[in-house]
Amino acid sequence: MFTRLIYAARNDLKIMVLAEIIPFCTGVFLGMLAGYYGKWLNTMISLLTDTLIAFPFYLIVIIVAFASGAGERGIYITFMLVGWIVFARVVKGLSASFREQEWVASAQTLGLPGVRIILRHLLPNVLPQAIVVLMTDMIGLLVAIVTLGYLGIGITPPTPDWGTMIADGRSFITTAWWLSAVPGLAVVYTGIALSLVGDGLADLWRKK
């Protein structure tokens, strides 16, 4: 059981990190574009985020799972479709507020192109908050991965997964409760750890 718990941690955390990379980069970039340029670009991105956020996450996962089969690929595809929304919404608001600052107006007066202002000036200022949001979003994604494994539409056996370990232990809950409790506690411990890392990073950047 301990061996499966360790290997399940490796699998779940690997999926959690890899599934966040593309949505994080996409959401931050689109959020900066929408916040800086505004107008029709902001309207289009806002309309897209409002449309996608109207669909429940697990419904999209089930649809993708039926189309591509259960497993890691469905999780990656689903999160690439909807995972960027939270980053885009946060970064868009920050970029819109920074756009009115004097240092952005100074850069525009000097004739710097918009792309350079976004990458050299906006990005370093919105990135700390985006990373804090990333830590919080990782917790939600980890819970989603474990839930999908529990429901049988996530990581498929015999690959170890905390969700499938919790599901497998249901039949022995009265005689060997630790079979479900230990992987459940591992999920809780990991979530608390990620939350503390996010809070620590936020405090560190606030002091700067």
pLDDT in tens, 45-60: 888 888 888 777 777 7
The DSSP element (H or E) to which 184 belongs, if any, is helix 178-207
The span from the CA of 168 to the CA of 179, in Å, is 8
CB 113 within 8 A of CB 74: no
Pair 85, 53: CB distance under 8 Å: yes
Tokens of 91: 């970064």
* Best CA proximity match to 188, nearest among 139, 138, 154, 132: 139
Q: Which amino acid is at 32?
A: M
Residue predicted with more confidence, 42 or 58: 42
pLDDT tier, 124 (very low <50, low <70, confident <90, very high otherwise): confident
Q: Which domains does the chain have, with CATH numbers?
A: 2-207 (1.10.3720.10)
How large is the angle between the packed helices 123-151 and 2-37, nearest 10 degrees? 140
User: How buried is 128 (Cβ within 10 angstroms: 0-12 exposed, 13-18 middle, 19+ buried)?
Assistant: middle
pLDDT at residue 8 is higher than 70: yes
Nearest in space to 32 (alpha carbons), one of 109, 105, 97: 97
- 127-181 pLDDT per residue, tens: 888 888 898 889 988 988 898 888 887 787 788 899 999 998 888 888 889 999 9
- Residue 204, classified by CB atoms within 10 Å of its CB into exposed (0-12), middle (13-18) or buried (19+), is exposed
For residues 75 and 19, the answer to whether their CB atoms sit within 8 Å is yes
pTM value? 0.85
